[in-house]
Amino acid sequence: MANRNPVSRSPCRTGLSPKYWILMVISEEEKEVRLLHDSTASMRTMKMKPVEILLLVLCLNIVAFGVNGGPPTCPANLESDCGDSDEWKGEFFPGIPKIKYEGPSSKNPLAFKWYNAEEVILGKKMKDWFRFSVAFWHTFRGTGADPFGAPTKNWPWEDGTNSVAMAKRRMRANFEFIDKLGVDWWCFHDRDIAPDGQTLEETNANLDEVVEFAKELQGSKIRPLWGTAQLFLHPRYMHGGATSSELGVYAYAAAQVKKAMEVTHYLGGENYVFWGGREGYQSLLNTDMGRELDHMARFLEAAVAYKKKIGFKGTLLIEPKPQEPTKHQYDWDAATTANFLRKYGLIGEFKLNIECNHATLAGHSCHHELETARLNDLLGNIDANTGDPQIGWDTDQFLTDIAEATMVMQSVVKNGGLAPGGFNFDAKLRRESTDVEDLFIAHISGMDTLARGLCNAAKIIEDGSLAELVRKRYASFDTELGALIETGKADFELLEKKALQWGEPKVPSAKQELAEMIFQSAL
Ligand code: XUL
Ligand code: CO
């Protein structure tokens, strides 16, 4: 084993490490400053008067306007109110090309360095290992607001309204983004994509109108990886939805899930997610936990029945998270959720959507949660993101840690992939990242990181040293007595007889540092 080089049979292309790569993207403001600077500099040499300089700058702006596809229909101003039209003249992302694979030595921020959709790794195309999806709520509804500060993102297509027309225009932006990024999937909550009305009927009608439009824009290639119902923002859900102490809220939540499942099905969605943001408690003193858990199980049973009734073949997924916004969320982690499903006889009907940042909030690694789900035959989807080791909440950052991505991909490969699930980027830009192109850079970086993780996982698997180390560690069970133990045929009398016969057992090294060395050498 010591002579084998784990990286010598890499299935992925090699090239310059992008380690010293320097970000060369400049913001729109900087571009204008540079334009002004460049033009004034050349004017100095041409000895122009200030008024002529101003005129020229004006002209240059008009030219740039034309190149960008004309003026927006509404100004990028959150106070403005012109949301009566879904039209948008020209592209939403002018100047951003279709993102292509250029290889690890590329310095182009708007190109993939590692994600090469058609490249076959371990017998499957990269795009099929990942099935990457864009999360509508972060990418198109994320404003950058936090509890201490106002929104920071002034996307040029937003007009400050929450109208149906604005929802449709935003949907156009979504599909242009998806097309340019080159992915086939998107994820949504019902309330991200269409506004609430005065009544449930009106709300459903708004949703139908936007969904009809989304179906048209999706074409034949793009589909939802999953849809879900947003049961946490509205004040009616302050005690939860399925676990609310109020029957009327339980019924309202059921009506909302019913509708969200119908539209996911209508759009050709492959999965449906339950994330119980407020399905938990703030204090046990005023909570009947047993009754709430029973209610949640009945709610999920009804969802299974309705899924079958409407012929929705997608997988139902539960997304564990330990807390936030509640102090305790019932779907704490993969093991807790698996136990809940087993107790209520729902184990064959659901899989899990593991989110890496939720895993770390629960005190686990993402790798641990993926393995727990996988070993229970419950690994259905991944909400790809990461937290910050110094921040104790759900920061929803794009994953850029290659070691972490490699561990994630080891689990995914062992699972044989995730289909009909995939990787949803449940991740958002930092509040301070405010350029439209940052949306692309963030997704490209996340996709490249996971692609590197896949390449590394393939190297580790093809090399075989790590698997061999693990196999050797348990080799004592590859014996006659080991087989009796593993098939449940070794009783305590037999084991005592062996222990007396053998005396003190020899306990070998776990070789953890060697395992870490092999792992590191593949990164
Ligand atoms: C919240 C979270 C949600 C779910 C969908 O932490 O992850 O966005 O993924 O409701
Ligand atoms: Co999530």
**pLDDT single digits (tens) 500-509:** 999 999 999 9
For residue 302, the model assigns a pLDDT of 99
For residue 7, the model assigns a pLDDT of 35
Per-residue pLDDT, averaged over 340-352, amounts to 98
User: Residue 35 belongs to what H/E stretch?
Assistant: helix 28-46
Name the residue ranges covered by the structural domains of the chain. 113-463, 476-522
- C-alpha dihedral, 394 to 397 to 399 to 401, nearest 10°: -80
Question: Cβ(274) to ligand 1 under 6 A?
Answer: no
Average pLDDT taken over every residue of the chain: 88
**pLDDT single digits (tens) 11-21:** 474 433 333 33
What is the phi/psi pair of residue 111, to 5°?
-145, 155
Q: How long, in residues, is the chain? A: 523
Residues with catalytic roles:
189
**pLDDT single digits (tens) 302-320:** 999 999 999 999 999 999 9
- Please report, rounded to a whole number, the percentage of residues in the chain having pLDDT higher than 90: 83
- Res 72 pLDDT > 50: no
- Please tell me the distance from the alpha carbon of residue 259 to that of residue 278, in angstroms, as a whole number: 20
**pLDDT single digits (tens) 453-464:** 999 999 999 999
**Token pair listed for 403:** 């070691």
Q: What angle do CA 95, 151, 445 make, to 5 degrees?
A: 45
Question: Cβ(463) to ligand 1 under 6 A?
Answer: no
- Please tell me the distance from the alpha carbon of residue 172 to that of residue 216, in angstroms, as a whole number: 10
- Res 24 pLDDT > 90: no
Rg (CA), the chain: 27
Per-residue pLDDT, averaged over 476-497, amounts to 98
Residue nearest to atom 5 of ligand 1 (CA): 275
- Please tell me the distance from the alpha carbon of residue 446 to that of residue 448, in angstroms, as a whole number: 5
CATH level 2 (architecture), domain 113-463: Alpha-Beta Barrel (3.20)
pTM for the predicted model, two decimal places = 0.86
Residue listed under structure tokens 């990942």: 130
User: Residue 447 belongs to what H/E stretch?
Assistant: helix 436-463
Which three-class secondary structure state does DSSP give residue 382? strand
Question: Cβ(228) to ligand 1 under 6 A?
Answer: yes
Question: Cβ(396) to ligand 1 under 6 A?
Answer: no
**pLDDT single digits (tens) 379-436:** 999 999 999 999 989 999 999 999 999 999 999 999 999 999 999 999 999 999 999 9
Could you count the other beta carbons within 10 Å of the beta carbon of residue 210? 23
Peptide bond into 420 cis (omega under 30): yes
Q: 406 and 519 in contact (C-beta within 8 Å)?
A: yes
Per-residue pLDDT, averaged over 266-278, amounts to 97
What atom in ligand 1 is closest to the CA of residue 232? 10
- Please tell me the distance from the alpha carbon of residue 235 to that of residue 94, in angstroms, as a whole number: 39
- Please tell me the distance from the alpha carbon of residue 26 to that of residue 109, in angstroms, as a whole number: 11
User: Per-residue confidence at 329, pLDDT binned at 50, 70, 90?
Assistant: very high
Question: How close are the terminal C-alpha atoms of the chain, in Å?
Answer: 18
Which residue intervals of 219-271 are DSSP H helices?
247-266
User: Per-residue confidence at 35, pLDDT binned at 50, 70, 90?
Assistant: very low
For residue 6, the model assigns a pLDDT of 36
Per-residue pLDDT, averaged over 181-192, amounts to 98
Residue nearest to atom 6 of ligand 1 (CA): 394
- Res 27 pLDDT > 80: no
- Please tell me the distance from the alpha carbon of residue 377 to that of residue 371, in angstroms, as a whole number: 10
Distance of CA 20 to the CA centre of its chain: 27
- Please tell me the distance from the alpha carbon of residue 451 to that of residue 458, in angstroms, as a whole number: 11
Question: Cβ(129) to ligand 1 under 6 A?
Answer: no
User: Per-residue confidence at 8, pLDDT binned at 50, 70, 90?
Assistant: very low
- Res 373 pLDDT > 80: yes
Residue scoring higher pLDDT (64 or 288): 288
- Please tell me the distance from the alpha carbon of residue 111 to that of residue 98, in angstroms, as a whole number: 9
What atom in ligand 1 is closest to the CA of residue 353? 9
Q: Which ligand is nearest to the CA of 321?
A: 1
**pLDDT single digits (tens) 141-181:** 999 999 999 999 999 999 999 999 999 999 999 999 999 99
- Please report, rounded to a whole number, the percentage of residues in the chain having pLDDT higher than 70: 84
Residue to mutate, 324, 355, 398, ligand 1, most ligand atoms under 8 Å from C-beta: 355
For residue 83, the model assigns a pLDDT of 58
Q: How far is CA 511 from CA 4, 175, 193, 468, 508, in A?
A: 17, 50, 51, 12, 9
Q: What angle do CA 122, 124, 130 make, to 5 degrees?
A: 110
